[in-house]
Amino acid sequence: MPKQPPEVRKHNFNEVALGYTEEQALEEASRCLQCPQPQCVKGCPVEIDIPAFIKLLRDGKYEEGIKKIKEKNSLPAICGRVCPQEEQCQKYCVLGKVGDPVSIGRLERFLADWERARGFNIPDKAPPTGKRVAIIGAGPAGLTAAADLAKLGHEVVIFEALHLPGGVLVYGIPEFRLPKSIVQAEVDYIRKLGVELKLGYLIGRTYTIPELLKERGFDAVFIGTGAGLPQFLGVPGENLGGIYSANEFLIRVNLMKAYAFPEYDTPIRIGKHVVVIGGGNVAMDSARSALRLGAEQVCIVYRRSREEMPARKEEIENAEEEGIICKFLAAPTRFIGDEKGWVKQMECIQMELGPPDESGRRRPVPVKGSEFLMDTDTVIIAIGRTPNPIIQRTTEGLAVTKWGTIVADENGKTSLEGVYAGGDIVTGEATVISAMGAGKRAARAIHEYLMSKK
């Protein structure tokens, strides 16, 4: 797929991957074998009929093709861009056993972009049921549940704490991987299904869940509040200036558009030597954003080795092409500041890999006496996020695990009647598509619950 060349793209926030041309899409689609028992579908958390949409695409029936996708997935332009396809559908594609799997994600993206350029078709909705559902959080889980419930004829209101909908899609994933106009367009589509969006409502504060159910006339609630609480290292000096959590850094840059400061009012300070701590997608996104904000050098410090890095391969490659350096097997032990309270150095310790831990990856073990110093004026901590605790603290009787995630069954049912949950708030940090899958299953369960209730 064509991309912006690294030398150019590292200076702008425009999308890196440019998408297939019609010709390229048709050629790629023609590689699909139309397997009678398609393995790819098994790898899709929302069960898109992949061979069917590829066939429609190949036959030039784009409109039918996108309709086929949207039977299962309301956010195809987003998924086509950020799904870890290599771990899902494409991992199971038979062609992958002998060579390259079909680029299913890119084909999905092609059709979604094709449709968006022409204006969305609004599908038929079931007649009104008179039931009202409150959705908490406008991330992929909440948006998906909302779309499905609206199509089933329920009145749906989404309460989102931030001033823009999209969850991680707008506040976390940078513009160069997922343009915000696309999220906006797909959210608008969900609005057109009749879903009402209330922005700037922090549930737990503005209303609690019991209030929504008892006083505000909702018959059911879906919690899709994600994993938004940043984790810190707990080492000395962590509160020095210039040390950001990845969430703060990304919220400033993406949601508040600090890359366009002072045209936008939210500032960000970025130094010459940026260090990003962590090895996942969040670390990659932070590092690549820092580079685009003008850092001279960006170094990712990860405590295991390249093999264990949880980030998508494609994004690691993109990052390295852009000149981001990776320092493996090192972990910070403290930060050292200047007289103004700004970070100037970081002390790290060398690690080596011991036997595997619970996660199945080899455990990093510090090497005694191997401390060393790195100069840095900006540090971004991207070592993980845990569930936002506001709802748990304000909803009596809601069962929660010791990690703060909400206890819910396969269909999102929680310990409280009429209250469902899904996405990162249940699983901990996961993926866009798994959050959407959870939203879908919960929507189905909520529908059954509502229709069986008098």
Partner 1 sequence: MYEILRVEELAPKIKLFEVYAPEIAEKARPGQFIIVIINERGERVPLTITGYDPEKGSITFVFNEVGKTTRQLGLLKEGDSIWNITGPLGNPSEIKNFGKVLCVAGGVMIAPMLLQVKALREAGNTVVTVMGARIKELLFFKEELKALSHRLYVATDDGSEGYKGLDFLKDVLASERFDRCVAMGPVPMLQRVCELTKPYKIPTVVTLMPIMVDGMGMCGVCRVSVGGQMKFGCVDGPEFDGHLVDFDQLIKRQRMFLPEERLSALLWELGGCECDGK
Ligand X SMILES: Cc1cc2nc3c(=O)[nH]c(=O)nc-3n(C[C@H](O)[C@H](O)[C@H](O)COP(=O)(O)OP(=O)(O)OC[C@H]3O[C@@H](n4cnc5c(N)ncnc54)[C@H](O)[C@@H]3O)c2cc1C
* Residues at the site binding partner 1, with contacts judged by CB under 8 A: 161-163, 171, 199-202, 205-207, 228-230, 232, 234, 238-242, 244-245, 247-248, 251-252, 256-257, 261-269, 340-341, 388-390
Decide if residue 199 touches ligand SF4 (CB under 6 A).
no
Closer to ligand SF4 at the Cβ: 32 or 223?
A: 32
DSSP track, 381-399: E-S-EE---HHHHHSTT--
* Residue 238 C-beta-side C-alpha neighbours within 13 Å: 11
We find the least distance from the C-beta atom of residue 159 to ligand X, in angstroms, to be: 5
Q: Which does 236 bind (CB under 5 to 8 A by kind): ligand X, ligand SF4, partner 1, none?
A: none
Closest separation in Å from C-beta 429 to ligand X: 6
DSSP assignment letter at 293: T
Distance from C-alpha of 285 to C-alpha of 385, rounded to nearest angstrom: 15
CB of 452 to ligand X, least distance (A): 26
Between the alpha carbon of residue 194 and those of residues 72, 186, 329, the distances in Å are 18, 13, 51
Neighbour-count burial of 334, counting CB atoms closer than 10 A to its CB (0-12 exposed, 13-18 middle, 19+ buried): middle
DSSP 8-state secondary structure symbol assigned to residue 74: S
Count residues near ligand SF4 (CB under 6 A). 14
Which residue, 340 or 368, has its beta carbon nearer to partner 1?
Answer: 340
Rg of the chain in Å (alpha carbons): 23
Helix (H) / strand (E) containing 27 = helix 22-30
Q: How far is the CB of 257 from partner 1 (least distance, A)?
A: 7
Region near ligand SF4 per CB under 6 A, out of 27-35, 142-150, 307-315, 424-432:
27-35
423 lies in the site for ligand SF4, by CB under 6 A:
no
Among 48, 77, 102, 382, binds ligand SF4 (CB under 6 A): 102
Cβ 311 to ligand SF4, closest distance in Å?
24
Site of tokens 């600090």: 258
Pick 32 or 408: Cβ nearer ligand SF4? 32
Identify which of residues 64 and 409 has a Cβ nearer to ligand SF4 in the complex.
64
Query: Can residue 160 be called a binding residue for ligand X (CB under 6 A)?
Result: yes
End-to-end CA distance of the chain: 53
Strands (E), 255-329: 273-277, 297-301, 325-327
Identify the three-state secondary structure at position 453: coil
Contact between 226 and ligand SF4 (CB under 6 A)?
A: no
266 makes contact, choosing from ligand SF4, partner 1, ligand X, none, with CB < 5 to 8 Å by partner type, with partner 1
Exposed/middle/buried for residue 397 (C-beta within 10 Å: 0-12, 13-18, 19+): exposed
Q: Does 126 bind ligand SF4 (CB under 6 A)?
A: no
Q: Where are the alpha helices (DSSP H) in 40-94?
A: 50-58, 62-70, 76-82, 89-92
User: Is 186 one of the binding residues for ligand X (CB under 6 A)?
Assistant: no
Site for ligand X in 362-391 (CB under 6 A): 388, 390-391
Among residues 95, 235, 255, 430, the one that binds ligand SF4 under rule CB under 6 A: 95
For binding to ligand SF4 (CB under 6 A), which residues are involved? 32-35, 38-40, 50-51, 93-95, 102, 104
